[in-house]
Structure 1
Amino acid sequence: MFAEGCPSSAVPIRIGEKWAGMVLVCLADGPRRFSELKVPLRGVTPKVLTETLRALERDGMITRTAYDEMPPRVEYALTDLGRSLFAMMHACREWAEANLPDVLAAREAYLDAQAEARTRDAG
């Protein structure tokens, strides 16, 4: 699993990449411009959105089409490869919905234990 050359290091959508899955979902109904993506993706900085779009394009998940117009227009669209991730993303959402209460309870228990340990160590 951790061997050099393991394909896991080349996986295009990593669990911790918050914006990649959201960008793909935003493109599900058709191409969008950069400014159109920023609306539903409140909170993403232009820099992070640019990096995410470039990574998704690099990995073949989306296409970037620049139109020779004034002013210039660029649209991003899903590829078949990008669309193929939706079944897996749906399964992850179902798992999260079913297990979110347990995850939140575990986080709270962890924080309570950490606070108790700090109190004990301070006293």
Structure 2
Amino acid sequence: MKRRNTRWPSQLATALIIAGALGLGISFAAPPEQLPNADIGPHTGPFSIHDLDRNGILSREEYGRFLTALEQRRKAADGSGKSYPPPLRFEEIDRNADGYLSEDEMISALNRRLERHKRYRNRSGRW
């Protein structure tokens, strides 16, 4: 009759526990790989993607780059037949005239445009 080693399951369990602990130690010791937009800051989403210097506001240059990218996307989707409203001018959005666009200013400007559009559609009896 073969003699069974009853110690090896516990040795295997011990080895797995140690390997797991070492693996966790290694994963905590090495910094996680950074994603390209991982350090965006408190605001996330479309506004922050175009905030190249990650300061929470868009400069005139950053907004210009955003408009260029927007036009390129619209031209690429030109076969859809959609007509798009013209983009908001920088001065329309910059209510406090400080030369920068905050996310709140952008949201307010887009809401004002939406309200004008709703009034126009209500006046024509389309709603």
* TM-score (norm. length: structure 2): 0.24
| Structure of greater relative contact order (alpha carbons < 8 Å, 6+ residues apart) | 1
Q: Give the number of the structure whose alpha-carbon radius of gyration is greater.
A: 2
Q: Which has the higher strand share?
A: 1
* TM-score (norm. length: structure 1): 0.25
